[in-house]
Structure 1
């Protein structure tokens, strides 16, 4: 009986040590791949658009900033936000803040997110903004995007593009008519007015990037 008790405590100790080690590893990996925070300067990129051209942030000479939105074809959350993303581009592109949409998914894992399917989706929905393919999945880890959709508002400055807001588009992915907090609109409006953005970060709700 005594021996069984000792073995039981030993097993528990081993489980605890293993769990701690796994937790430490996960925390370390998360920190390493955390991506940008508000106030960081975002590096430019060159990605293929659905029209076959290569697009970079530096192409937009007159832009005051950008709404870089990681999204895709297949995620129900991303699909629910497509019309709202189109509306954001229609509202803010004339004010100098265009939408730049990026598909971060690996088509080997998500065949519906292939470049060919991206072209079909963009034509079907009438996208008014670049819809770029993160081939090799090199850009989304730099940003720290984890979901589709995941928004990064950038403000163009002399030194580069500063991250001003990270997170969700609004607080109701299910029904645009029932939105209480328009996080992205509030953030862009504040940025353009030279006011403090509040909140600067929210939790992105959507499908995990694959």
Structure 2
């Protein structure tokens, strides 16, 4: 696997695949090797390890990208970032249906390479536990409006108070970042904290 100098204008990063065929992506002059590495990685579903035939900078950049990816594989431990996902609910059947779907997709992406998703909490503002307590990681807090357990005009009215109460629990101390989302979200890919 190596970057080939194909002239002054462009470079290619080429890798032999499992069938022995060369797979290449073009790297424009002055282009970043890390972008080419990303393209090849996606194209082949592998982790390229390459040397540069035309300059040490490309090889060094590629090695740094590969090393960073190796540290992040399956965990994001290298960055130290830990995302704690928080979703609020009053435990209504509709929100529980949405929560099941969203939490199911969260579990599918949280351990993928590059993910910094570590903790998940459903914040239940209700007078008693509901059906999802044993299924989804849940912290229950007493609501300001108990009638919303059954029905009320504005069921999210308890959300701000619930979040304040949750922030006073040990659960809120998990992770370096909190991501508050809605129950109707669906996870398609892992999430990492954007660079500062």
Please, what TM-score do these two structures have when normalized by structure 1? 0.32
Larger Rg over CA atoms: 2
- Specify which structure has the higher proportion of helix: 1
If asked which structure has higher relative contact order (CA below 8 Å, sep 6+), I would say: 1
